[in-house]
Structure formats: C-alpha cells, structure tokens
Amino acid sequence: MTRRRGGRPLVPAYLSTGGVARPSVTHLERLSVLTGSGEPVPADLPAAHAALLEELEYGSLTVVEAAALLRLPVSAVLVLAADLVDRGLALARAPIPPARRFDPDLLKRVADGLRDLKHR
Amino acid sequence: MASATSSTVDPRTGGADVHLPDSARDLVKILVTGPFGVGKTTLIRSVSEIRPLHTEEQLTEASAQVDDLAGVRDKSTTTVAIDFGRISLPGGIVLYLFGTPGQERFRPLWDDVAYGALGALVLVDTRRIDASFDVLGLVEESGLPYAVAFNTFPDSPRHHTAGQLRAALDLEPTTPMVTCDARETDSSLDALLALVQHLIDHHPPENR
C-alpha cells in the first residue's frame, strides 16, 4: 500500500477498489467483524486488498476500524472486504448474532457493564 | 488467528492495539451527536478504551447540493470526520460510540451511521441552545430513542431551570435530561447510563 506515514494515501479511494463501486453479495456494515481466513495470499492480490488483509493478521477488526487504520472511506473498505470474503481470504460476521439483537437482557447487561466502569 | 501482540506499536493509534478482544461477541453502538464543538469527541475519549479513531466520510450528492447553497464551492472534496471509540463490557459486549455531526446537511451520512444503533446521546451546549435544533430534528425523524446531556462549560449559564430547558428544546416529558462534564469519565458514563436506562424503561428491544 502506498501510504505516506502520517499522511493521506497516495492511491485515491476510487482506485483502491479497482474501480468496483458496489460491494458484492456479501452483506457488510460498519460494525461487521472481519477476520483473516489464514488461506495463502495470492501473489496477484491488489495492493489495497493486501493492505486490508495485513491489518487482519493480528486479529479481528470491524469495517470501520479497518477504514480508520487504512485511511480509506468506509465505502471503499466495504468493497475490499466483500471481495476478500468472496475470495475466501477473509471471514465476516454480523456485529451481533440475529437472535441476540432482540435479547431483552442485552441493554441491562450494557447498563451493568457501564456502571461497573465507574470509579475505577 | 494469532492474538494481538503488544509489541506491535502502531503510530496511528498511539501504540495501542485496536484489534478486537477474542471475547468480543455482541457489537452494539450508540451515537454521540450534537453540533460542532459541543464535546462529542471529548466524551468519547473520556470513556473509550482505544484512543478515538476517525473515518473520513464523503458527503453524498444530496448533501453536496445543500453545501452549494451555503456557498461551498469545492464539493468534490467535501468530507467530514466521524470519530469513534469503544468500550468492552463483560459478557462479550463491545459498545461503540460514534461521534456523529448533527447538521441537517449530513442527513444521508447520519442515516448510514445510525443504522442498527441502540440510541443516541444528544449533547447540548446551553450557551447556544439553538445550535441543537437541527440535530434534535434529525434524531427524532430517524426514530432513534435518545437522551439529552448538557455538557457544562466554565461559562455555561446556570440560571436555566430543567423545565425551561425542556421547553426550549421542545422535549417529550419522558426524554431524560442530564448534566455532564464530557471530560470526566464517570460523568460521561452517567450520561450514557441515563440513555441506556431510558432504553430499558421505554424502548424494549423486542419492539425495535
């Protein structure tokens, strides 16, 4: 990735995706969790894809965290991530399992957790 | 996947590792919104476990036209930074806080960031209450439940009663109003708690 240290990337965002404007069939959102699959990285992987994959080497990141680290718009990372998932190089999961999203207990646990953080 | 190593110093994050803890399971978000300069990033920084990061968001065509009316000429480079932080809570919950500007012209971006959010904490500066009308309009139209936190500044007026503030902002009787100092961790946590308690009391998640 042609990133200047501390500066903006030299590759414009619209080129980083290879001209692809829309994510593929993989449904991703800002807080989708991305994880590297550990599959061997093809030699011809475009630089921006490789840069995203590199960020996942040490663990999982959300789309928005990857965008912040790579200094790319979220829309560009959505495209790159979907492409990596389609190629089997990364895994993506929803921010919260569908069944838990409406778990009435969730908000209570959030409140309890925030209360526990006070006076530390 | 190898777990994060603390030896990797990343200058972009002040040396901290931003990778998610392995325990992370349920990722939820709350919007921290309000006019420019009201203290959104300050509040996020006071509670976030990572130094707040930001993404540069491009404004869409629709909002660019509003910019044009406002006399902004270079529309192609119109971007706005969205700051965010996060808090890992017990039980694998990770709470994300997104500092979302509340101007009407950011509406498409607002809707995008608000997608799936639990609710919004609206920061208000009592020295310029009218600066919050736009954001309150946006929040109400989005249908997101919210609480209002008055961020105190040294020269904030102290003569307003709660009733006057509620009337000035045209808030529902049930909308929580709290006073906070966004620089103080406990105070910011209290403001977030006021919102979450409101969600528990008035907006059961099974109805959303």
The number of residues in chain A equals 120
Distance CA B29, CA B50 (A): 15
Q: Which of residues 26-55 of B touch A (CB under 8 A)?
A: 26-29, 47, 53-55
B73, pLDDT greater than 50: no
Element (H, E) at A61: strand A61-62
Q: SS3 breakdown of chain B: % helix, strand, coil, rounded to 5? A: 40, 25, 35
Nearest neighbour of A59 by CB, restricted to B1, B26, B113: B1
Q: Which residue of B has its CA nearest to A55?
A: B19
Distance CA B151, CA A100 (A): 33
Could you report the per-residue pLDDT of B147-196, keeping only the tens digit for each? 999 999 988 988 889 999 999 999 999 999 999 999 999 999 999 999 99
**What is residue B204's predicted lDDT score, i.e. its pLDDT?**
57
The sheet with strand B26-34 has its strands ordered as: B53-58, B79-89, B93-101, B26-34, B119-124, B146-151, B177-180
Please, are residues B162 and B171 in contact by the beta-carbon 8 Å criterion? no
Element (H, E) at A81: helix A74-86
CB within 8 Å: A71 and B5? no
CB within 8 Å: B27 and A111? no
**Taking CB atoms and an 8 Å cutoff, what residues of chain A touch B25?**
96-97, 100
Overall domain count for chain B: 1
Distance CA A68, CA A50 (A): 16
* Tokens, residue B76: 């192609």
Distance CA B145, CA B72 (A): 33
B205, pLDDT greater than 70: no
Any idea what the CATH number is for the domain that residue B77 is in?
3.40.50.300
Q: Beta B119-124 vs B26-34: how paired, if at all?
A: parallel
Taking the mean position of all CA atoms in its chain, how far away is CA A92? Answer: 8
CB within 8 Å: B28 and A69? no
CB within 8 Å: B56 and A71? yes
B72, pLDDT greater than 60: no
Question: Does residue A96 sit at the B interface (CB-CB below 8 Å)?
Answer: yes
Could you report the per-residue pLDDT of A11-68, keeping only the tens digit for each? 666 666 666 655 555 789 999 999 999 999 999 999 999 999 999 999 999 999 999 9
Question: Does residue A12 sit at the B interface (CB-CB below 8 Å)?
Answer: no
Residue B115 lies in a domain: yes
**Taking CB atoms and an 8 Å cutoff, what residues of chain A touch B28?**
95-96, 106, 110
Structural domain of B138 = 25-202
Question: Does residue A27 sit at the B interface (CB-CB below 8 Å)?
Answer: no
Strands (E), chain B: 26-34, 53-58, 79-89, 93-101, 119-124, 146-151, 177-180
Average the pLDDT over each of A13-27, B87-101, B106-120 and give the range with the smallest value. Answer: A13-27
Residue B86 lies in a domain: yes
Distance CA B55, CA B191 (A): 25
**Taking CB atoms and an 8 Å cutoff, what residues of chain B touch A64?**
53, 55, 84, 96
The number of residues in chain B equals 208
DSSP string, B118-146: SEEEEEE-GGGGGGGHHHHHHHHHHT--E
Question: Does residue A67 sit at the B interface (CB-CB below 8 Å)?
Answer: yes
**What is residue A3's predicted lDDT score, i.e. its pLDDT?**
46
Instruction: Indicate the burial class of B147 (C-beta count within 10 angstroms; 0-12, 13-18, 19 or more).
Output: buried
CB within 8 Å: A6 and B11? yes
**Taking CB atoms and an 8 Å cutoff, what residues of chain B touch A75?**
58
Phi, psi at B127, each rounded to 5° = -75, -20
Residue B9 lies in a domain: no
